[in-house]
Amino acid sequence: MQLIKLSLGTALLLSVLQAEDYIHIQVLQYNEHDGRASITAPSVELNYDLGADYTINGKYTLDSISGASPIFYDATSGASAYSRGQTTKEDVRYAGVEYDETKRMQGTVRGTKRFENRDEITLGASFSNEYDYRSTELSAEVLHWMDEGKNQAFSIGVAFQRNVILVDCEENSICDATSGASKKLRADAFFAEAGIAQNIDSTSTLKGSLFFNNEDGYLSNPFMNVLRHYNTNPTITNETRPHNRRGYGGVLEYTKAIGEKTAWHSSYRYYHDDWEINSHTLNNDLYYELNTDTTLGTGLRYYTQDAAYFFSKSFDHFTDEDYASSDERLGDFNAINLSLSVDYKVKKHISVNFSANYYKQDKGTTARYFTTGLKYEF
């Protein structure tokens, strides 16, 4: 099962990296309601400074996912996620179909060079692999200080991603079964972002950035179905998405120190693409230093998006349209995410961290996920 890509590209650095050597081990446990998805993802991260001018960062994650994706299927086939061909109205179902547990490994390496004026350039590479999906990404970022007092910075970053998807030709109409049991298809993606950060005063910072992304190639989900010709000749077949997707948007961030123990971070993100998806994200995080060893955090994120023009879950919507999808992630929905976190310093160089999160969509999807981590500074 192809995993959801949570992000593309890199996060641009708009502030000085603190010199810190550490190892951070963390485990993520994610569970959606009704067994729709369960993810366990342990990771280890190493950050090491090679003197004052170089930093190298590496992270390795190994995760597994299982669950039941809601899709169209033919009940006479035994609720197989890979049913194809003609069926009858009575046998058409839309419900969760179990899929096998999938393991994925992902590794990222980033190196930063600081110059005499403390400008920075960061180069990165990442690789992700599972049995039917492989992704390779290269990225570059530049941070330039625009004044001697280090109160204003300009940053620009780009990333290129190549994805290879293994499609089962016997179960997917994208290729002819006579071409073999499977076929490798490709999708490329390009991401660029530019931003400016400004210290307003000694306690607050404002950041703004614009971004652009372009995806090209096989962008469909090979495991997602659509229903066509329901009223005349019901047929369950693979979804088909456009072979290109261009999007753009902007991010505005504000950080404020409130007194000596409290910090507030707020951000707004707007996104639009030529699939007619518009989204808005409003995020607020508050951190409080309870004492020298303990920091508490809480966050609230609100997200809303419009549906892609080729999305529908209705039984009688699609007939002969070129593009069609019933993937709920392309539909219109609103969602909130609540989070609580604790960071506790056990010893001078050892700290533990824990977060609990609750996610809820207006369409009914809910999820709970937790992270537990151990950090050693050296």
Residue 219: partners with Cβ closer than 8 Å, 6 or more residues away? 187, 241, 242, 243, 244, 245
Q: What is the DSSP letter of 116?
A: T
Longest dimension (CA), the chain: 73
Q: Which residue range is the domain that position 104 belongs to?
A: 22-377
Residue 363 in any domain: the answer is yes
Residue 349 in any domain: the answer is yes
CA angle 257, 360, 107 (to 5 degrees): 70
State the pLDDT confidence band at 41, using cuts at 50, 70 and 90: very high
Residue 11 in any domain: the answer is no
Strands 244-258, 235-238: parallel, antiparallel or unpaired by DSSP? unpaired
pTM of the complete model: 0.89
Assess whether pLDDT exceeds 90 at residue 188: yes
Alpha-helical (H) ranges within the chain are: none
Tens-digit pLDDT profile for residues 284-342: 999 999 999 999 999 999 999 999 999 999 999 999 999 999 999 999 999 999 999 99
CATH number at residue 140: 2.40.160.40
Q: What average pLDDT does range 138-154 have in this prediction?
A: 95
The answer to whether 218 and 239 are in contact (CB under 8 A) is no
Residue 184 in any domain: the answer is yes
Percent of residues, the chain, with pLDDT higher than 90: 75
Q: What average pLDDT does range 252-280 have in this prediction?
A: 97
| Overall domain count for the chain | 1
Residue 17 in any domain: the answer is no
Residue 6 in any domain: the answer is no
Residue 67 in any domain: the answer is yes
